[in-house]
């Protein structure tokens, strides 16, 4: 039998690939450019976001005074050097009697410091108000035009460079006027609500995670719990707000307004209290804490448990003395991330009725409250430009808080993983 010639054999050499190869590399380069481009877009957007906020936080403002401070000088002594009695007299002469009594009842004038009275005179008598504000970008590059515009449109006004984020902004309570408003009440409200949320969610979350990882048998019921927790983590936060409104604010009103505990406030909050908000946020972060704690507990090597059982420890002794200490850094990392999430949540708090105009510090879990994010939302929704400026300043405070929490979590996680490696 004659051997058939191998007709199908193809002799390949580089030149056959060459035209195609160049084309393939070109396509490859193009798509690498696209992939890098999309990453770049992400970074650009992040920087735009931050720059946009900085842009509104700093800039020139045109300030007009209702009464020129120079005219308030007594016998040639300028306003800022007047003694307290003179300042009080000015205050009494220039504000309505009702307001004066109101201020007196807040804190008697005899107990107030000179600086405090001076500030009151500035605020109530001189009454500076910002008539227009400019962005940082304009303030840097169009300075001459701004000066010309002010001279033209607001001849009375004084042009000054203002940082909306300043010490006074951090110390002052909310106010109807943008330039004297601050975030003090909002920060305190945020700390209270998040604090209650953690006190509620941390033990329950970690307990649930221990149950699922250390005790639960692999049966249908426990599988339902697991799936359910994953699904709860995906429920939009506003739905938790509605749950909080229906249960904590409405159904449990006697408890959350404090009436059940004999706490009666004349300015009743109708269940729309710090306690309701804290519990709502607690429910919201509960699945996050459970999932993170589960992961941390799962990462504990089983040899540790077996050794503990081997020397006769009970299940709880094993969990308490060996599993939990080992898993704690991981659990804490997850909890800090949950705190950061709770700190930035707005929608559920708006739904359960975080009052936006509160100018007294919250005095306990049954107080009306406002929080930093709801405050930002409310300021942003106002039509006047100056409220955008203080919203931006409040955003800087909020983002700083949230990012420092996240940074702590990242550092903790790095340390933790290094310890596991060694």
Within 16-45, the residues that bind another protein by CB under 8 A are: 24-25, 27-28, 31-32, 34-39, 41-43, 45
Three-state DSSP at 312 gives coil
Q: Say whether residue 417 binds another protein (CB under 8 A).
A: no
Each residue 207-246 as x (binds another protein by CB under 8 A) or -, in order, gives xx-xxx--xx-----x-xx-xxxxxx-xxxxxx-xxx-xx
Q: Say whether residue 411 binds another protein (CB under 8 A).
A: no
Distance of closest approach, residue 14 Cβ to another protein, in angstroms: 11
Beta bridge partners of 245: none
Selection from 232, 352, 351 nearest residue 289 by Cα: 232
Distance of closest approach, residue 97 Cβ to another protein, in angstroms: 32
CB 291 within 8 A of CB 261: no
Q: Which of residues 73-92 bind another protein (CB under 8 A)?
A: none
Among residues 84, 119, 380, 408, which is the contact residue for another protein, using CB under 8 A? 380
Q: Which two tokens stand for residue 335?
A: 């909890």
For another protein, the closer of residues 60 and 377 by Cβ is 377
For another protein, the closer of residues 74 and 252 by Cβ is 252
Three-state DSSP at 178 gives helix
For another protein, the closer of residues 32 and 264 by Cβ is 32
Binding range to another protein, per CB under 8 A, among 145-153, 300-308, 358-366, 376-384: 376-384
For another protein, the closer of residues 71 and 219 by Cβ is 219
Q: How far apart are CA 255 and CA 249, in angstroms?
A: 9
β-strand pairing of 58-65 with 158-163: antiparallel
Q: Say whether residue 290 binds another protein (CB under 8 A).
A: yes
Among residues 18, 22, 49, 147, which is the contact residue for another protein, using CB under 8 A? 49
DSSP 157: -
Q: Which of residues 293-322 bind another protein (CB under 8 A)?
A: 314-316
Using only C-alpha atoms, the chain has a radius of gyration, in whole angstroms, of 31
HEC per residue, 233-246: HCCCHHHHHHHHHH
Residues 6+ apart with CB under 8 A from 33: none
Binding range to another protein, per CB under 8 A, among 76-84, 93-101, 174-182, 351-359: 351-359
Backbone angles phi, psi at 257, to 5 degrees: -90, -5
Q: How far apart are CA 270 and CA 74, in angstroms?
A: 50
Binding range to another protein, per CB under 8 A, among 61-69, 124-132, 322-330, 398-406: 398-406
């Amino acid at each position: 039998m004659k051997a058939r010639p191998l007709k199908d054999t193809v002799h390949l050499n580089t030149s056959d690939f060459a035209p195609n190869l160049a084309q393939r590399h070109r396509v490859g380069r193009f798509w690498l450019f696209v992939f890098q481009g999309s990453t770049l877009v992400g970074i650009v957007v992040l920087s735009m976001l931050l720059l946009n906020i900085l842009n509104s936080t700093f800039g020139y403002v045109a300030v007009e005074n209702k009464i020129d401070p120079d005219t308030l000088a007594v016998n040639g002594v300028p306003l800022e050097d007047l003694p307290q009695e003179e300042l009080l007299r000015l205050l009494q002469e220039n504000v309505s009697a009702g307001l004066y009594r109101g201020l007196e009842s807040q804190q008697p004038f005899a107990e107030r410091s000179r600086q405090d009275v001076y500030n009151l005179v500035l605020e109530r008598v001189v009454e500076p108000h910002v008539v227009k504000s400019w962005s940082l970008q304009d303030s840097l590059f169009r300075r001459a035009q701004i000066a010309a515009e002010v001279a033209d449109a607001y001849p009375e006004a004084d042009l000054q460079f203002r940082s909306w984020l300043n010490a006074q902004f951090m110390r002052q309570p909310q106010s109807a006027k943008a330039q004297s408003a601050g975030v003090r009440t909002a920060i305190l409200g945020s700390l209270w609500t998040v604090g209650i949320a953690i006190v509620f969610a941390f033990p329950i979350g970690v307990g649930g995670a221990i149950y699922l990882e250390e005790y639960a048998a692999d049966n249908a019921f426990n599988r339902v719990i697991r799936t359910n927790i994953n699904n709860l983590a995906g429920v939009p936060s506003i739905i938790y707000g509605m749950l909080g409104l229906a249960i904590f604010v409405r159904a449990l009103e006697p408890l959350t307004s404090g009436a059940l505990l004999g706490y009666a406030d004349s300015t009743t909050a109708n269940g729309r209290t710090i306690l309701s908000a804290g519990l709502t946020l607690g429910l919201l972060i509960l699945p996050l804490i459970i999932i993170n704690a589960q992961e941390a507990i799962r990462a504990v090597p089983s040899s540790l448990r077996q050794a503990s059982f081997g020397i006769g420890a009970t299940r709880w002794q094993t969990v308490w003395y060996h599993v939990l200490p080992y898993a704690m850094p991981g659990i804490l990392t997850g909890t800090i991330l949950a705190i950061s999430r709770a700190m930035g949540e707005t929608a559920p708090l708006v739904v359960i009725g975080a009052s936006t105009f509160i100018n007294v510090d919250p005095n306990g879990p049954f107080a009306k409250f406002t929080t930093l994010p709801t405050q930002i939302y409310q300021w942003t929704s106002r039509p006047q430009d100056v409220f955008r400026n203080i919203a931006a300043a409040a955003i800087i405070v909020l983002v700083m808080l949230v990012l420092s929490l996240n940074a702590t979590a990242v550092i903790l996680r790095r340390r933790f993983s290094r310890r596991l490696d060694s």
